[in-house]
Chains A and B, each alone.
Chain A
């Protein structure tokens, strides 16, 4: 293995580690949190005290993430067994 490809492999594994550490199993949850925070910031800047937006988004994001788990489990085992 050449030094360049070794460095690329090390960088890739470093990036994968931080992706797994920060983003985890479901990237949609992390994206949803980022979008909701941007929306909260935008609303508060325009004079709306949007403290309620994040709790609603968290309930939805967790629910949707769990729904994907249930759907994936059902696809693996359609009979539920």
Chain B
């Protein structure tokens, strides 16, 4: 994998999760208390940074074969989850992710919640909502940063991709002061799902002892093949849904 592919994969994965986390923080800040929302965000980012700092060197100590088997299997399972949802969204079996709707739902839930603070946190609900949003959305990205970075012996590039994505999304979000509904989130999820699945297949098979024909060059076939498979399933499911939606009498 080239440095560029490592950077772009982490950047896209992180941007998608950052957009979702931003929606939650904006909802907590605008409907409750900005100070507490910020405290929750900073606390979650610190915990995530500590996770990457602790896991990065620890994962680096695992022998490469075992690392690729375990990491490849986990990436493959994550990737198939992303890809499955992307195919369902692309074919109409699941509603497209809509940040404006997600924001409205979070604001409605936050407005009705009980008030009150703890210690230096004035609004505990805004703090925990922001913390959970940023931590949960960021945990998968932390895993991707550590595993992709370690496999390529280039954690700094992976961290750079994550930081660029977080900064870009944060700046854009606070510039427009609204959820980033125009980000092509569903397409980005499709791309990330494809990359996670393809690299998961490649590393897990290598970790299990198999040798790919052409070595690393096999990725040039595996990545487009996974994308073609997902696009093919999307097309088949879309047609199946359209056929099922037609009234029986209209079939010729």
Contact = CB atoms under 8 A, between A and B. Distances in A.
A40 B209 contact: yes
Q: Taking each of A33, A40, A58, which has the highest tally of chain B beta carbons within 10 Å of its own beta carbon?
A: A58
B205 interface: yes
B80 A29 contact: yes
A7 interface: no
A5 interface: no
A69 to B, nearest CB: 6
Interface residues on A, range: 20 to 34
Q: Taking each of B84, B211, B229, which has the highest tally of chain A beta carbons within 10 Å of its own beta carbon?
A: B84
B139 interface: yes
- Interface of chain A, helix or strand or loop or mixed? helix
B110 interface: no
- Interface of chain B, helix or strand or loop or mixed? helix
A80 B210 CA distance: 44
A50 B210 contact: yes
B246 interface: yes
Contacts, number: 99
B197 interface: yes
Contacts of A29: 77, 80-81, 84
A50 B213 CA distance: 11
Interface in B65-123: 69, 73-74, 76-78, 80-81, 83-84, 87-88, 93
5 contacts: A37-B204, A53-B205, A61-B80, A62-B230, A80-B241
**Interchain residue pairs A-B with the least CB separation, the first 6:** A80-B244, A44-B209, A51-B210, A40-B208, A24-B81, A41-B208
Interface of A: 21-26, 29-30, 33-34, 37, 40-41, 44-45, 49-51, 53-55, 58-59, 61-63, 65-66, 69-70, 73-74, 80-81
Given A29-B81, A37-B73, A58-B201, 20 more contacts: A22-B74, A23-B77, A26-B84, A29-B84, A33-B80, A33-B204, A37-B208, A40-B210, A41-B69, A41-B208, A44-B209, A50-B210, A51-B210, A58-B80, A61-B80, A65-B84, A66-B87, A69-B88, A70-B240, A74-B244
